[in-house]
């Protein structure tokens, strides 16, 4: 099991690429994290102070243990930053930075992958929106919305889909526990998160948005999780044109839609055909008790 405690329940967070310039990703992340109840360490060699906090040139300059690093620097700088995180003993990382396999730079992504493996850093991303844990006031994203507490956890390859769900959630009174934008999935996969959420007390419904899978443990994890919690999935790229768009989005191969339909059926995953259907299913399963028999009558 990956070190998810460092990711979802950190005591200290380093924001690498934090910024004082409004409009930059590093600024939005810092602003969102100001309500976090633990320690924050902005990292940027350009500044001495930020948001009333001391700013450091490197994580190596911080005289404290760091559980989680949020990385928002240009892609070419990510290997150096992750090497420093490894030397520091950082346990978990969320790489927001884009510019890897989704734009064809597989070599750079592989370089980062080797570093996180060398130091055993549990890593989400790169090319992602970030993560949230509403029960810890943890908003490690550059999004504008922070949702109400609730029982839904979302794992999404698309930051845009997450943003759309968060935008619509107040209208339907939807509440969330964990929100994870996994991007290119350099390390942590859907199966890792599903295994973690199986025992997460604040999660009762799991939602997946999938561009494409490269996760060998997906089916086994889905079978285990679906026995105790409902799983709802929306899969992009059902058509040939959609599959091409999904590939350029997060560097994933979309694959045959028939294969995904069969896998979802075997894993007992409820498949939504549209975004509207996904939201409706989220609303139903988060507010209504699970049916425990087939004795259902319908009048229409």
Reported as a single tens digit per residue, the pLDDT across 82-94 is 999 999 999 999 9
pLDDT of the residue at 246: 46
Residue ranges, the chain, pLDDT below 70: 238-255
Say what the pLDDT of residue 240 is. Answer: 59
* H-state helical runs in 53-129: 78-88, 106-119
Which pair of structure tokens corresponds to residue 71?
């990385």
**Rounded CA gap, 109 and 203, in Å?**
31
State phi, psi for 127 to the nearest 5 degrees. 60, 55
Distance between CA atoms of residues 70 and 241, nearest Å: 34
Chain centroid to Cα 244, Å, comes to: 22
Write the pLDDT tens digit of every residue in 202-225: 999 999 999 988 888 999 999 999
The number of beta carbons lying within 10 Å of the beta carbon of residue 269 is: 24
pTM for this model (two decimals)? 0.91
Query: Residues 6 or more apart from 157 whose CB is under 8 A from it?
Result: 181, 182, 183, 185, 209, 210, 211, 212, 249, 250, 252
> 176, 153 in Cβ contact below 8 A?
yes
Hey, what are 168's tokens?
């619509």
- The predicted pLDDT at position 241 comes to 56
Q: Going by DSSP bridges, is the β-strand pair 39-43/53-54 parallel, antiparallel, or unpaired? A: unpaired
């Amino acid at each position: 099991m990956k070190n998810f405690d460092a990711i979802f329940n950190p005591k200290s967070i380093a924001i690498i690429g934090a910024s004082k310039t409004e409009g930059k990703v590093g600024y939005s992340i810092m602003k969102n994290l100001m309500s976090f109840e633990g320690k924050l360490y902005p990292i940027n060699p350009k500044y001495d102070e930020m948001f009333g906090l001391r700013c450091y040139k490197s994580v190596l300059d911080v005289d404290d243990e760091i559980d989680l690093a949020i990385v928002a620097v240009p892609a070419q700088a990510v290997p150096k930053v992750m090497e420093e995180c490894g030397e520091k003993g950082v346990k978990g990382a969320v790489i927001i930075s884009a510019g890897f396999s989704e734009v064809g730079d597989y070599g750079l992504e592989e370089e980062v992958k080797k570093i996180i493996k060398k130091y055993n850093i549990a890593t989400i991303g790169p090319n992602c929106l970030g993560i949230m844990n509403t029960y810890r006031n943890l908003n490690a994203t550059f999004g504008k919305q922070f949702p109400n507490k609730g029982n839904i956890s979302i794992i999404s390859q698309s930051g845009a889909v997450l943003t759309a769900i968060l935008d619509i959630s107040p209208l339907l009174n939807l509440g969330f526990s964990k929100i994870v934008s996994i991007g290119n999935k350099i390390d942590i996969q859907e199966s890792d998160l599903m295994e973690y959420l199986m025992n997460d007390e604040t999660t009762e419904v799991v939602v997946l948005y999938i561009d494409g899978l490269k996760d060998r443990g997906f089916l086994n994890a889905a079978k285990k999780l679906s026995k105790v919690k409902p799983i709802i999935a929306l899969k992009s790229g059902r058509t040939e044109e959609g599959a091409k768009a999904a590939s350029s989005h997060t560097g994933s191969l979309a694959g045959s839609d028939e294969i995904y339909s069969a896998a979802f059926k075997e894993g007992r995953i409820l498949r939504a055909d549209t975004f509207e259907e996904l939201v409706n299913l989220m609303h139903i399963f988060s507010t209504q008790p699970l049916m425990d028999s087939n004795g259902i009558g319908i009048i229409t």
